[in-house]
């Protein structure tokens, strides 16, 4: 029978007696076997027939249109046999799969029932404080070492948890002063709270602090052998468990959204603790050199670093700004208080997402009367070295820094002192080009962050970069006597971070300052109080500002300054 005759015969048959298979356009998932919705394989057609009433199965015929053909033809006996074998194999696989799934489901349900039974049984276990033992002494973890072999009570949060069999649990407790390994045995592990314990649960534990056996390790070399404990504030498990919210490889935006929980982690909390010690060390340094601390206002109506980075707001109908720097106010204190400093917040509306910029940062600033430019440079270098030595002298702080930044060592050698003009020469000699046109740097260019960092990292030592051109520095910075093109200005550059300090002498002559206002297009009227400092007994003076977050990034080897403050604020980020 020719193909045309076969096609004619098929077309004359009752279409309800045919099961269509189109190897090119059919679908085993959505097909139903009719001509409009054919199957893709003959095995699926056989399976379809097997599901029909036995009385109609014999009358159903399979017709196939192979890929590249235009007409359907009856399935050959050999192809039908092959399809039946494939169908039978699929049925057997499906049966085994169904049996396996049923068995797995039964096992899961049995396991769940057993867990539920254990939970119900655990509710009957009630722990009581043994009054025959010595009264526990309430301590913080930081005091654990001096309370070894003493029965104590410790409160904190579950930082790590390990269950070993049914009769032993290890909890690493955190309370902000340290970490303490706690061992729970037998009935202590059988309570409902023990079986449902999750990370970040707050607990209270009572027991005796013992040195760990030889060959074992634990924080500070000891552990709390618990004889009583209770939950204070339960944390969720399951999908809401803190370990399911983020990990160290999470996207930075996730870590920032969960910053309130991230700061409970080892690294984040260590950086914040080092920050606390650093802030104290700066205050101790300034106390030691005789500077008085002042607290200038954060709401101002003047600018210090240029109008483009001001955060403005409506102040009772008047325009006001969040301060860019407290410098101008510190200068007003010199005649009454002598050298002064502040540890205050500063704000910069910079449209920048670099790893060293923040819109709000802690600004350590100082102003000193009757000094020379060399005195200023010496003071900045001594301050940085002294603060580092102070925190390094504290064993606990030093241990945290060494863990965060194993290669860090206090600086003993003098800082390199380099003029801006020499930096331009260095960049050109080392083939560092301007990004915008690929040309050599020229005197007067504002050196961008990347080339500056490259130079600093290559040299590998702190650099006091001085004598920047007048046009690229702030209006209050005075020109030098020997070269009026440049100012008595300085940036302290640190390897791996870049600039952490910016400073200068200040214009102290009234007429020179008025000329600077005119040059910068600034209205001097709002600065009347600042001008009065030049009017009523002026003197040579200078000062600087240091970004605490940048200092910490250098000290702790943090990739970004965003890791060095509690809740960073930058473009598109103002929460939590």
User: Which tens digits make up the pLDDT trace of 273-323?
Assistant: 999 999 999 999 999 999 999 999 999 998 887 667 899 999 999 999 999
> DSSP 3-state assignment of 369?
strand
**Lookup: tokens for 447:** 């050196």
How sure is the predictor about 6, in pLDDT bands with cuts at 50, 70 and 90? very low
Query: 191: Cβ–Cβ under 8 A, 6 or more apart, which residues?
Result: 122, 125, 126, 127
| Digit-coded pLDDT (tens) for 473-495 | 988 999 999 999 999 999 999 99
pLDDT confidence of residue 256: 93
Instruction: Please check whether residue 421 is in contact with residue 389, taking contact to mean a CB–CB distance below 8 angstroms.
Output: no
pLDDT confidence of residue 120: 82
pLDDT confidence of residue 116: 81
Mean pLDDT (the chain, rounded): 92
∠331-337-341 over CA atoms, to 5°? 60
Instruction: Please check whether residue 323 is in contact with residue 361, taking contact to mean a CB–CB distance below 8 angstroms.
Output: no
pLDDT confidence of residue 106: 86
| Digit-coded pLDDT (tens) for 175-192 | 999 999 999 999 999 999
Instruction: Please check whether residue 541 is in contact with residue 367, taking contact to mean a CB–CB distance below 8 angstroms.
Output: yes
* Section 9-26 average pLDDT: 73
Of 135, 134, 186, 177, nearest in space to 155 by CA: 177
Query: 398: Cβ–Cβ under 8 A, 6 or more apart, which residues?
Result: 391, 392
How sure is the predictor about 4, in pLDDT bands with cuts at 50, 70 and 90? low
| Digit-coded pLDDT (tens) for 56-114 | 888 888 899 988 888 898 888 888 888 888 888 888 988 999 889 889 888 888 888 87
- For residue 1, is pLDDT > 70? no
- For residue 562, is pLDDT > 90? yes
- For residue 3, is pLDDT > 60? no
- For residue 138, is pLDDT > 70? yes
Q: Which residues of 312-342 are buried (b: 16+ CB within 10 A; e: fewer)?
A: eeeeeeeebbbbbbbbbbbbbbbeeeebbbb
- For residue 33, is pLDDT > 80? yes
Query: 542: Cβ–Cβ under 8 A, 6 or more apart, which residues?
Result: 367, 368, 371, 373, 375, 376, 488, 503, 504, 505, 506
pLDDT confidence of residue 351: 83
Instruction: Please check whether residue 224 is in contact with residue 154, taking contact to mean a CB–CB distance below 8 angstroms.
Output: yes
- For residue 11, is pLDDT > 70? no
pTM over 0.85: no
Q: Which of 168-172, 343-347, 434-438 has the weakest average pLDDT? A: 434-438
Q: At what angle do helices 510-520 and 528-535 cross, to 10 degrees?
A: 150
* Section 48-56 average pLDDT: 86
More confident residue, 448 or 352: 448
Could you give the CA distance from residue 219 to residue 170 in angstroms, rounded to a whole number?
A: 13
pLDDT confidence of residue 248: 85
- For residue 460, is pLDDT > 60? yes
pLDDT confidence of residue 306: 67
- For residue 228, is pLDDT > 90? yes
- For residue 9, is pLDDT > 80? no
* Percent of the chain's residues with pLDDT above 70: 97
Count of Cβ atoms closer than 10 Å to residue 9 Cβ: 11
């Amino acid at each position: 029978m020719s193909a045309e005759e076969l096609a004619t015969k098929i077309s004359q048959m009752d279409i309800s007696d045919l099961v269509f298979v189109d190897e090119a356009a059919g679908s085993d998932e959505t097909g139903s076997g009719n001509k409009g919705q054919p199957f893709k394989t003959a095995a699926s057609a056989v399976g379809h027939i097997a599901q029909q009433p036995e009385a109609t199965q014999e009358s159903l015929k399979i017709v196939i249109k192979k890929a590249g053909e235009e007409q359907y033809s009856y399935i050959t006996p050999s192809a039908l046999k092959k399809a039946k074998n494939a169908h039978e194999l699929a049925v057997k696989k499906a049966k085994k799969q169904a049996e396996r799934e049923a068995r797995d489901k039964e096992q899961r349900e049995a396991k769940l029932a057993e867990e539920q039974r254990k939970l119900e049984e655990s509710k009957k276990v009630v722990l009581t404080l043994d009054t025959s033992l010595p009264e526990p002494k309430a301590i913080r973890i930081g005091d654990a070492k001096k309370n070894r072999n003493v029965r104590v009570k410790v409160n904190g949060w579950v930082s790590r948890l390990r269950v070993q069999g049914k009769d032993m649990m290890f909890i690493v407790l955190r309370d902000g002063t340290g970490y303490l390994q706690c061992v729970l045995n037998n009935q202590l592990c059988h309570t409902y709270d023990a079986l449902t314990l999750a990370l970040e649960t707050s607990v209270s534990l009572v027991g005796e602090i013992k040195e760990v056996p030889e060959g074992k390790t634990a924080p500070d070399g000891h552990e709390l052998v618990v004889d009583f404990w209770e939950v204070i504030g339960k944390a969720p498990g399951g999908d809401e468990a803190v370990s399911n919210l983020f990990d160290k490889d999470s996207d930075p935006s996730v870590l920032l959204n969960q910053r309130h929980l991230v700061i409970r982690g080892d690294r984040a909390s260590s950086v914040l603790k080092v920050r606390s010690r650093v802030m104290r060390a700066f205050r101790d340094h300034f106390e030691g050199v005789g500077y008085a601390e002042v607290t200038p206002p954060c709401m101002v109506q003047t600018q210090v670093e240029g109008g483009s980075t001001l955060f403005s707001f409506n102040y009772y109908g008047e325009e006001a700004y969040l301060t860019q720097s407290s410098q101008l106010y510190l200068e007003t204190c010199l005649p009454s208080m002598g050298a002064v400093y502040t540890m205050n917040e500063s704000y910069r509306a910079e449209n920048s997402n670099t790893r060293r910029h923040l819109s709000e940062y802690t600004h350590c600033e100082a102003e000193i009367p009757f000094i020379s430019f060399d005195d200023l440079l010496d003071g900045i270098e001594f301050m940085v070295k002294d603060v580092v030595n102070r925190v390094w002298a504290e064993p606990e702080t030093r241990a945290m820094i060494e863990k965060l930044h194993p290669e860090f060592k206090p600086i003993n050698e003098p800082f390199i002192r380099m003029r801006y003009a020499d930096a331009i020469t260095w960049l050109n000699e080392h083939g560092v080009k301007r990004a915008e046109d690929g040309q050599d740097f020229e005197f007067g260019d504002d050196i961008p962050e990347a080339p500056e960092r490259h130079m600093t990292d290559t040299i590998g030592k702190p650099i006091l970069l001085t004598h920047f051109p007048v046009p690229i520095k702030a209006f209050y910075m005075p020109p030098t006597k020997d070269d009026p093109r440049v100012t008595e200005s300085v940036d302290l550059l640190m390897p791996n971070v870049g600039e952490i300090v910016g400073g200068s002498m200040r214009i102290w002559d009234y007429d020179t300052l008025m000329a600077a206002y005119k040059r910068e297009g600034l209205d001097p009227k709002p600065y009347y109080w600042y001008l009065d400092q030049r009017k009523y007994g002026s003197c040579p003076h200078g000062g600087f500002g240091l970004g605490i977050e940048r200092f910490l990034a250098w000290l702790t080897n943090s990739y970004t300054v965003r890791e060095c403050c509690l809740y960073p604020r930058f473009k598109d980020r103002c929460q939590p």
